[in-house]
Amino acid sequence: MFYINSINDKRKGTFVLKIKGIFKYMLTATISLLFIFPIYFMIVTSISSKHDIEIGSLIPTNFDSSNWIELSKGYWISGIRNSLIISLSSVVLTLLVGFPAAYIFSRLKFTADKHLFFWLLTNRMAPPICFILAYIVMFRSLGLWDTIPGVVLAYSVFNIPIGIWLLVSFFSSVPREIDEQAFIDGFSMFEYWKKIFIPVVKGGIAVCSFFVWMFSWTEMLIASTLTSAKAKPLTVQLLITLGRVGYGVQFGLAAAAGVMTIVPGLALIYWARLYLAKGFTFGRL
């Protein structure tokens, strides 16, 4: 009797595990569908004819590449180029300033270091709209309005603090004894960073670059305020297309531009996917 009861218990346990497994897969599939469907619909809209777009077809019957052809010329290609330059410049500037600053915060203790460290983050907490009026007045007087350097400098107020916080979380996980041993062996600071420290914290650099790039690539408010024609990025051009009065919304062209905006993000997520979780779990010691 005991043997039969144990067999029944095992069968019940196996059945429960199967039900849990099926439920888990169904839940995962549902969540994935909710996230993937908007992207799929945007891709379909970008390659559909006007008739398919008007009826809301989920499967294009008439393939139309005119939206992507339009995206590859004129002011659209200029916006893509400006976005690439602004985003790449923002990453480089953040790393140039944030790397040595984060190293100092992670290695040295000085007066008010914690207060200064927290103050950096408060700059990132402030809504961008708070800086708009000051940016307009200051940048116009300095000749930086509607220029790529002006947009990069404006973004640095938000990028550098979050970059320092992310880098410090990684740098603090590297034992200080490695620094001491390298300096005892005769390494200069530059040699130590190049040969030992940077290879160890390359994951942190990847995470920092990812977040800075994504903020700079997708930001609309500051860019739409500080640019007019010369430095207008892709996101601002997309905003103008969606809000154009009298012409109607060009859904196909807007969808193609939307797909273009997510391509770098998907590529960066794939590149930095192994390090993203660490960027949230490592804390400052």
| pLDDT score recorded for residue 147 | 93
Alpha-carbon distance of 231 to 47, in angstroms, equals 28
Q: Is the pLDDT confidence value at 95 over 90? A: yes
What is the 3-state secondary structure of the chain? Answer: CHHHHHHHHHHHHHHHHHHHHHHHHHHHHHHHHHHHHHHHHHHHHHCECHHHHHHCCCCCCCECCHHHHHHCCHHHHHHHHHHHHHHHHHHHHHHHHHHHHHHHHHHCCCCCHHHHHHHHHHHHHCCCHHHHHHHHHHHHHHCCCCCHHHHHHHHHHHHHHHHHHHHHHHHCCCCHHHHHHHHHCCCCHHHHHHHHHHHHCHHHHHHHHHHHHHHHHHCCHHHHHHCCCCCCCHHHHHHHHHCCCCCCCCHHHHHHHHHHHHHHHHHHHHHHHHHHHHHHHCCCC
| pLDDT score recorded for residue 284 | 41
Q: What is the pLDDT of residues 200-242, one digit of tens each?
A: 888 888 888 888 998 999 898 899 889 988 888 988 877 777 6
Sign of the CA dihedral with 193 first, then 172, 92, and 262 last: positive
Q: What is the mean pLDDT of residues 19-43?
A: 85
pTM reported for the whole predicted model: 0.82
| pLDDT score recorded for residue 89 | 95
Q: Is the pLDDT confidence value at 7 over 70? A: no
Q: Where are the domains of the chain?
A: 2-55, 66-281
Higher pLDDT, 12 or 222: 222
Q: Please, what CATH class does the domain formed by 66-281 belong to?
A: mainly alpha
Give backbone dihedrals phi and psi of 231, rounded to 5 degrees, phi first.
-115, 20
Q: What is the pLDDT of residues 51-65, one digit of tens each?
A: 887 777 788 778 888
Contact 78, 232 (CB under 8 A): yes
| pLDDT score recorded for residue 129 | 84
